[in-house]
Amino acid sequence: MSPAHHAAARGFPAFPARRGGRASGQSFWARQWTAAVEDVWPEQQPLKQGRSLARSGRTGPLTVSPGRVLARTEEGEQTRTTRLTLTVLDDDAWDTVWERAADRPATAEALLAGELPEDLLEAVEDARARMLPGYGDLDADCDCDTPGHPCPHATALAYQLSWLLDTDPWLLPLIRGRSAEQAVEDLKSTLLLRALTAGTPTHADADADADADADADDGDGDGDGGEGSGAPAPAPHNTATDGTAPDAPDAPDGPDGQGGAYDPGTHPHQQAAYTRPRTALPALPPLPEPPAAPGEPLTGIEADPLDRLAADAGLYARELLAHLHGFTDAPPAPPDLWQDTVRLAATHPDPRAVQRLRAGCGRPAGELDRAVAAWRTGGRTALEVLERPWRPTGQQTARARTALAAGWEEELPRIDTDGNHWTLTGRGLQLRLGRDGRWYPYRLHATVWWPAGPPCADPAEALADLTALPDEDAPQPD
């Protein structure tokens, strides 16, 4: 295993200024990090100042390395250097972490796939190690003159690290001394060592077997077949004659092949899989009709680009697979003429094709361009959000308002609600709730609402991103 200090440091550019919204990250690991930091540093004043400084755009760039997070803050003509330090876990501690992770098949599988699963935190706690900061573990050093500890620069750096954890939670193990690559290799070594030694009896096992044999030879039980009774062992039950349940079958040889007792709980997951009742597979959806060959290629060549055709086929195959797995009630319907027109215009590489589609679609000028803008942010679902308003239930609206109020740290702007359209009064900004539960941002140009970016599942984060958008001119057709 590589020593912890050999893990590579990583650098990140400074975050731009943010107006409003949450100052901490929203992923599981970001929330855990923020909660731990605020538990170690409970004073509200430096935390509040740190949140404001984190959103100001004056902190950064950031460097994350084993045991340290560093950033520089610009304050007028001065530059402040701030460091957060945490204890790096040694090799023995990491070995124990991987042993505990290997005890959890789902955790190990996720780690090997490059993910950082939430239940790794339980494995770390079982190993009596620390992944999150704690008392006496997290410290800060800054060259500012602030008398209190921690200073606002340190808390701002802690909040910005939570933003990084939203996109790359592996930074947390890196601070403790293991990069993602090292962690996966360490876990592979642990699993391989387990596989190689699974069938090898230990000295303790041999001593236990010997004691068991001795007890069997020298037994002094007073039941039937005991010492001095001279009676033969009782015959096994016969279900055909006495109607009783049969005795358990003879135990198979142990994993070492030497006739050791077999533990039925050794492979519970495999046994559970084989005892599940068999169910019939759902019928496969019908295959789509072969595409008709166009009379005149739009690009002027004999075939449209194959990468676009492959991408469309892959998207449709994914929708079919989602139906087979039960995520949708019905197989995806083929796109209608308008949806297919929008799809082609949004993905076709030749601008001449887009011009022909715009001229021949039979829609008012600009409507195709607006639909294309929506498609590029979220495909068919985003197009439905643009064209088909709907009215959420009262429970859905109340839940959205609660999430927005809980996630917005400043005074909420005034919002007018009309069905799934939430409009910021007098701002020319709007959020639209899609049927997929995501919020789609819109901006008013002249008298027409245009898509303004990709959707977001958190209404507070979507509103913060929307209010932070720079002013821009109306979109121009391709």
pLDDT band at 7 (very low <50, low <70, confident <90, very high): very low
Q: Describe the strand order of the beta sheet including 429-433 as a list of residue ranges.
A: 415-418, 421-424, 429-433, 439-445, 448-451
Q: What is the pLDDT of residues 151-193, one digit of tens each?
A: 889 999 999 999 999 999 999 999 999 999 999 999 999 888 8
Q: What average pLDDT does the structure give for the chain?
A: 77
pLDDT for residue 293 is more than 50? no
Q: What is the pLDDT of residue 379?
A: 82
Contact status, residue 426 vs residue 417, Cβ threshold 8 Å:
no
pLDDT for residue 385 is more than 90? yes
**118, 122, 125, 126 alpha-carbon torsion, rounded to 10°:** -150
**Burial of 385 by CB count in 10 Å (0-12 exposed, 13-18 middle, 19+ buried)?**
buried
pLDDT band at 372 (very low <50, low <70, confident <90, very high): very high
pLDDT for residue 71 is more than 80? yes
CA distance 475 to 369: 9
Lowest model confidence (mean pLDDT) among 179-188, 211-220, 253-262:
253-262
Lowest model confidence (mean pLDDT) among 73-77, 268-272, 362-366, 431-435:
268-272
pLDDT for residue 2 is more than 70? no
Lowest model confidence (mean pLDDT) among 72-81, 216-225, 262-271:
216-225
pLDDT for residue 18 is more than 50? yes
CA distance 415 to 459: 12
Q: Half-sphere exposure of residue 418, counting CA atoms within 13 Å on the CB side?
A: 6
Q: What is the pLDDT of residues 389-423, one digit of tens each?
A: 999 888 888 888 888 877 777 777 888 999 999 99
Q: Half-sphere exposure of residue 158, counting CA atoms within 13 Å on the CB side?
A: 33
pLDDT for residue 434 is more than 70? yes
Q: What is the pLDDT of residue 444?
A: 92
Higher pLDDT, 246 or 316: 316
Instruction: Give the tokens for residue 380.
Output: 């068919």
Cβ-proximal residues to 114 (8 Å cutoff; 6+ apart), any chain? 180, 184
Q: If DSSP codes are grouped into helix, strand and coil, which group holds residue 64?
A: strand
- Give the number of other Cβ atoms within 10 Å of residue 377's Cβ: 19
Cβ-proximal residues to 59 (8 Å cutoff; 6+ apart), any chain? 14, 15, 53, 71, 72, 73, 153, 156, 157, 160
Measured CA to CA in angstroms, residue 391 lies from 385, 396, 419, 433, 452 at distances of: 12, 10, 4, 10, 22
Q: What is the mean pLDDT of residues 351-359?
A: 86
Q: What is the mean pLDDT of residues 422-446?
A: 89
CA distance 295 to 360: 16
Higher pLDDT, 10 or 223: 10
Q: What is the pLDDT of residue 397?
A: 84
End-to-end CA distance of the chain: 54
Portion of the chain with pLDDT greater than 90, in percent? 26
Q: What is the mean pLDDT of residues 446-469?
A: 87
Residue with tokens 């530059």: 79
CA distance 255 to 252: 9
pLDDT band at 255 (very low <50, low <70, confident <90, very high): very low
pLDDT for residue 377 is more than 90? no
